[in-house]
Structures are given as structure tokens and as C-alpha cells.
Structure 1
Amino acid sequence: MSSEVLIKTLQSVEEMALVKELEELVWKWDAIPVHQTVTAIRNGGLIVGAFHDEKLVGFSYSFPGFLNGKVYLCSHALGIHPDYRVKGIGYQLKERQKSEARKLGYDMLTWTYDPLESRNAYLNLTKLRSVCNTYIVNSYGEGKDELNNGLPTDRFKVEWWINSDHVEKPSSFKVDKSNAFQVPYQEGEGGLPRLGNLDLPFSAEQIVVPVPAFFQQMKKEDMGLAIDWRMKTRSIFRQLFNAGYTAVSLIRHEDAPVHHYLLVKRSELQLDEKAN
């Protein structure tokens, strides 16, 4: 890029119109109305934008949430212009979102993503240090957009405890082969990975779960196999979350058909709230 990307909070009606325009470009659907985003930021919400040469190329949109007596920030959408992806802009937006959320008095943010999209998993869990033990089945109904078309929109709902030791003083979770159970997979036709059926152990200190390295490519080549991954990983993650496990990182492998989620017992994490 010819110049640096500028990250800033967005406040004006004109900036909300830019967000709406970019959202329509990114997802090809009806965007959030300007009157709603304006109302959100005036009532505890937060929108952060990324600009390159005075052009909006990325945004993160969030609004207040409340559940079981807990107030948090719900990060609903993060969109990057197609010409600016894989340049680290998403990470910059989330880091600015974190600092601004602290100023507003929040200590936890939450959002959802497709657990089979390994690039998003790496950003959310490994880089940002959010965690997940909530699986939502078909969160938005069957997807109609390019990324979700033809599949149930299952989602991980992550928690980002921005004042916790887990985020502030991260220690790398590594697979302990002597205490980990690794869910097996096989390579099928064309090198595409395939999951079998298995019984999960619930006594292992760590569980390692594979997901396709290139899920969108798999959908194009074999939609039936993609659906199989959706249904089998749905069962695996729901069982593990119900047994007290939490997803803490996505381990990437070069030249492999899968990457791996690492899950540990939630009691092993340092997620205690800290005073702002």
C-alpha cells in the first residue's frame, strides 16, 4: 500500500453512510440502516473504521449487550474491502476496538464466527486471545451470501475478556502430546480431508480437533463433504463444550489439509474480571 492505514472511531452520520456502503460491498446484502448505527454509537455502541488514502476500507461495528446481569459489548460485524484483505487490518480494528471499549467501561466483548473458517479462528482465538465454549446451531438460518450459501450458519460465540490475564499476559497453549486426545481425520480423494465417526473421551486434559484448512475451496469442490464436516464438527464441539472444554487457539500447519483447534478445561484459564 502506498500509505499507512489510519484507524479511528467513527461518530458522524456521514461516516455511518460510508459504513453502510462498505457493508453492502462486502456481503452483498441489505446493510444496517444508518439510523440504527447512529443510534447505537450514541447509546454505548462503538464503530471503528480503517481508512487508506481517505477511503474507508474496513470497519468494526458493536453495540451494548446484556445477559444474566452482565453488560458487555456485542461486536456484530467486521468487514474489510476485498482489495485490502490479508493485510492485518482486521487485527488493527480489533485492537483499537479493545482500547476504546475499555474507555467506555466494558471488560468483555462477544461475537460469532463460523468455526470452519480457519483464518477467522486464528485471528479470534490465537491472536486476539478470545475463547469459546458456546456453539450456536444455524444461527442465521441457511446462508444466502457467497461465503455461507448452501450450509447451516453454525457459529462459535466467543468471549473476549479484555482486562483478563488471559489476554493481557498471554501464555502460549501448546499441545501436550502425553495428555492430549487428537481427533483423527483421513485424506480422501483429491487430498481433501474427511472426518470419521468416533467416541470422544472426556477425561483428557486437552482435546485437539481438526478443521479444513481451506473450507471455501472444499465447498466448491465437494459440497457434500463440506456439509459432512459441518455436521460432524457440530456434534464434536457441542459435546466438548457441554463437558467443560473451551476452545483457546487455532494451530496452523503449512502444507497440510487441516488446521487444529486446541481445547482445554475452562478452569485452566485466567479469565477473572479485573477492575478497569
Structure 2
Amino acid sequence: MFAVMSKPTLPSPADAAETAGVRIVPLDDMALVGAAADLIDRVWATTDLMRTNLIRAVEQAGGYAVGALDPASGELVGTTVAFLGSHEVDGQRQPTLHSHITCTDVRSKGVGLALKVHQREWCAARGIVAVTWTFDPLVARNAWFNLGKLGATGRQYLVNHYGAMDDAINAGDESDRLLAWWPSGAGNSAGQAGPLGADGSAAADLAAVRLLDVGTAGEPVLSPVRVDAASVLLEVRVPPDIEATRRRDPDLARRWRTAVRETMGQAMACGHRATGMRRDGTYLLTPAEAVVEGMGR
């Protein structure tokens, strides 16, 4: 028996923007498009990661391209660009929005949250059933934001999804990703929930098995437990700052990539989904049949 708990309550787009001290604006002129492209390159420490003509094309084709503007300085401090797609939901092909890139040049200010809840509301108003995006499962702070803060679910583990990447964040590592699924509230589904308490802890009637832990020297410690589709909650813990590890000890970072792929990747291939994350960097992986996942909130 699995207890299904509700996902986090999120602020309205207006409240989130007010808290972050920003105004969410469409990237509907080339000055804003250029500012967004420059911001993306600064965050990833590269050049032409998202070209201005591509951002412009996404916006003109009906996709989602917005920025977070600081009213005091007039500076663009965050941006997100997403294109329309489709996924199968309950046996039917449904419209989705794939959020290709979201970034801010400030942390812990609430700008990322303001962008994401605006994006979700934009989808709901247009009958788009869910937002999808990919993220690196080794980056604990992003995973906490996506699964713990937003309440998205990791649907798939994608091995070396983008191939070799040469930006400052990803260079030297393989590009394994989780595919996030975040219902918008459009449609008539009951919604999405995972078997987690408000603090990210496992529900009391779930037996949790830890597959991967962080050792005393920061190394990956694998459990001898065999991963299969058994109806148990699985835990996979990742290091607190893989980006620092990549700079300090690239070999250790590669060991972590392999360890997460062999545990989380295998578990998700067998039917588990990433339904939550604790603040200590521990993923909660739930058998798919225990996850209520649909089009609603």
C-alpha cells in the first residue's frame, strides 16, 4: 500500500513576481531578445548557446519566450525559452511545452520560481497539459528546486542525452538528464502527486531502500541491493555540489556519473520515477504504479 500525499502549494505568478521583485515580460523585441541571449551566455560561460534568431523564431511561432525584468535597474535578470511539443497522456496525444532553457543571474531571490509559475499558468490558459524539461540529476540544488519546490516528477533517465557539451558547467562530463513532467492544471485529470510528506520524507507505510550514498571522502557508495521493479521506495543520494567536484576532481565526478546512471538510471528503466528530493540531496524513486500523474495540478 502506498500513501499518496499532495504536492507543494505554489504562489500565483503575480505573488511570485512581487516576492522576487521582478516583472515578467515577453521577449517581443530584439533588444529584449539580445539581452536574454547575453544572459544565457553569461550563466553558462559560453557563446551563442541560444542564438537571438532562434529565440525570436520560438516567440513568433507561438512558443514561450519571456524575461524577468528588474524594474529598478531595467536589467534582465532571468529568462526562459520553451517550444511547443506533445506527449501521450492516458492513451491520447496531448499538447505540452518543452522548456528548453531557464536561467537567472541571481540565486535565492525567487526569480526562477517566478519564471516557472508564470510558464505553468501560461500553459494552463492555452490548454497545454504539462511543462517538460531536462536537468542534470547530479546537480542537487536544481533537483531540489524541480522536484521538491515545484513538485515536478522525473519521468525518464536519459543517458548522455545531448552528447558532449563544451560550456563551463557541463564540459568534461557526459550529459545524462532527467526528463521532468509538471502538469499545468489544464484538462480534467485528478492531477499529480507523489508519496512524500511536506518535508520530503517518505510516507510512513513505504519501505525505503537506499541504493547510493555519499561516503566520508565524498565518494559514491553503492548498495549491494539489486535494482528491479519491486514495489519499494528507493533512495539515491548525490553529492551537494557536483560542479565544484568537477573542477576539483574530474575523475571523482565521472565516478559519480557512472554510479547515478547504474542506480537511478537502472531503477527508472525498471519503472520507478523520481517523485521527490530531500534537502540532503537524496532522491526518492517510486514505482510508477504508485504515482498519480496526469494533466491537473
Post-superposition offset of 1:204: 4.1
Q: Is the 8 A contact 2:157 2:269 kept in 1?
A: no
Structure showing greater relative contact order (alpha-carbon pairs closer than 8 Å, 6 or more residues apart) = 2
* 1:85 positional shift: 2.1
The answer to whether the aligner puts 1:195 opposite 2:221 as a matched pair is yes
Aligned partners of 2:50 and 2:165: how far apart in 1?
17
| Conservation of the 8 A alpha-carbon contact between 2:43 and 2:103 | yes
2:207 equivalent in structure 1: 179
> Residue 192 of structure 2: SS of its match in structure 1?
helix
Deviations 1:186-224 (A, max 9, x none): 524xx3132236322542421111111111122223211
Task: Report deviation, 1:24.
Answer: 2.0
Give, in whole Å, the separation in 1 of the partners of 2:218 and 2:294: 41
CA contact (8 A) 1:192 1:218 kept: no
* Mapped contact 1:180–1:204 kept (Cα < 8 A): no
Q: Can you list the C-alpha shifts for 1:89-137, whole angstroms capped at 9, x where unaligned?
A: 1111101111112122211111101000011101111111111121111
Runs of 4+ that moved beyond 4 A? none
Q: What corresponds to 2:65 in structure 1?
A: 47
Deviation per CA, 1:58-110: give whole Å up to 9, x if none.
001101113553321110001212xx223221111101111112122211111
Aligned to 1:211: 238
Contact kept? 1:244, 1:266, Cα under 8 Å: yes
Tell me the TM-score normalized by structure 2: 0.81
TM-score (normalizing by structure 1): 0.86
1:48 partner SS = strand
Instruction: Verify: 1:23 aligned to 2:40, yes or no.
Output: yes
AA matched with 2:209? F
Q: Are the equivalent residues in 1 in contact too, given 2:214–2:238 (CA < 8 A)?
A: no
Q: CA RMSD in A?
A: 2.3
Correspondence for 1:145 among 167, 172, 175: 167
Aligned residues: 262
Q: What's the counterpart of residue 55 of structure 2?
A: 37
Ranges in structure 2 where 5+ consecutive residues have no aligned partner:
1-19
In structure 2, distance between residues paired with 1:201 and 1:32:
39
Cα distance change, pair 22–186 in 1 and its aligned pair in 2 (3 A): closer
